[in-house]
Amino acid sequence: MMSEKKIPYGKQVIDERDIAAVCDVLRSDWLTTGPAVEEFERALSRYVGAEHGVAVSSGTAALHCAMHAVNIRKGDEVIVPTMTFAATANSIVFQGGIPVFADVIPDTFLVDPECVKKLITPKTKAIVAVDYAGQPCDYEALRSIADLNNLVLLADSCHALGAKYQDKYLGSLADITVFSFHPVKPITTGEGGMAVTDNDEYAKRMRLFRNHGISTDFREREKQGSWYYEMIDLGVNYRISDIQCALGISQLKKISFFLQRREYLASLYNDLLAGLQSVMPLAVRNDIRHAWHLYVVKVSDADFRQILFNELRSVGIGVNVHYMPVHLHPYYLKNHATKKGLCPVAEKEYQHILSLPIWPGMDEENVCTVIKALKELTAGPKKEKF
């Protein structure tokens, strides 16, 4: 059953147009803080329907910029789903805030709005929606909760560029929305991220923060013929290069194709999994367009999940697990007094999940190879059924 070529769980798709775009920048006068950064910001914010885009060095950097922009400070509580990558919660801690972990809906792993309501206290300042695997959260419910309690609504849409909720692109629904351009994400800049917003003040604060809190960047000072600048806020260096943004501009032109391929591959998985009684995909809401960053299945038996993981990896099929609930990581257990039992749904379901390979460069043969291996491993009456 050994496959001739390894099938990674995710991978970038780069073509000659991407390479040419990067080479053009390498031959130009500007490798960073140049015109490609602004062009990428305009193109992506226009695509998602936001007024401002602030491009930075990673999705994590974009999350941190967002927390700074909404003025998260020491002691502020921010509600965040535990089923996410650690960076979502870490960005709160970077600002001195306190992540308050919310449980998730068992069939989608999206944050449970009813759980969010119960966690609100006088110290709560913001709610973070996480569009797990590329599926949008219930933004109508979350916006209602945020507005009723005078809270900021932030969106970690690092999985979900191009996804829609009720026919609206993610990026136009929260006060600030964050995207990632890591190689396995919907488009890539190698490393990189962007925060988009309609709020002028938030955009201004994020632009300052990514550049040491300095009022102008080098290109602006060159235009003015001046050396003078002022540091008016405490910031960091989260700048992204023109090299990366040139790749992002080129990749964004192909996002419709990338999304269509992911949708097709997900539908193929759905069809081929229909006969398996011990493995099933997560549910999909009927009012959304899924970006399919991940294709996650649930395995009926928790112990068998580990067997599947090991066996599939041994034959070159790059399955993965996304994610261990953040509140169970040693750092949070030690430093934030989290404990087992805090988010029982996420803790239970995490033991059953497995991410199958999905990326636009996959073909039907790759999917069939994955499903064939799964069927061979799950065959027999000894496997528990849903």
Give the residue numbers marked as catalytic.
185
- CB contact set of 375 (below 8 Å; sequence gap of 6+): 275, 276
Given a contact cutoff of 8 angstroms between Cβ atoms, the answer to whether 298 and 279 are in contact is: yes
Given a contact cutoff of 8 angstroms between Cβ atoms, the answer to whether 186 and 316 are in contact is: no
- Strands 152-156, 77-81: parallel, antiparallel or unpaired by DSSP? unpaired
Length of the chain: 386
- In angstroms, the Cα distances linking 157 to 171, 194, 280 are 8, 10, 24
User: What phi and psi, each to the nearest 5 degrees, are found at residue 355?
Assistant: -95, 125
- Sheet with 98-102, side-by-side order of all strands: 52-56, 193-197, 176-180, 152-156, 124-130, 77-81, 98-102
Report how far residue 194's alpha carbon sits from residue 44's, in angstroms, rounded to the nearest whole number: 9
Residue type, 285: R
Sign, CA torsion 98/104/110/115: negative
Tokens coding 333: 């257990």
SS3 content of the chain, % helix, strand, coil (to 5): 40, 15, 40
DSSP state letters, 30-49: -SBSSHHHHHHHHHHHHHHT
How distant is the alpha carbon of residue 44 from its chain centre? 16
User: What phi and psi, each to the nearest 5 degrees, are found at residue 124?
Assistant: -70, 130
| Among the listed residues 76, 68, 37, 78, the one whose alpha carbon sits nearest the alpha carbon of residue 206 | 68
Report how far residue 274's alpha carbon sits from residue 46's, in angstroms, rounded to the nearest whole number: 39
- In angstroms, the Cα distances linking 279 to 53, 342, 351, 371, 379 are 40, 27, 13, 11, 11
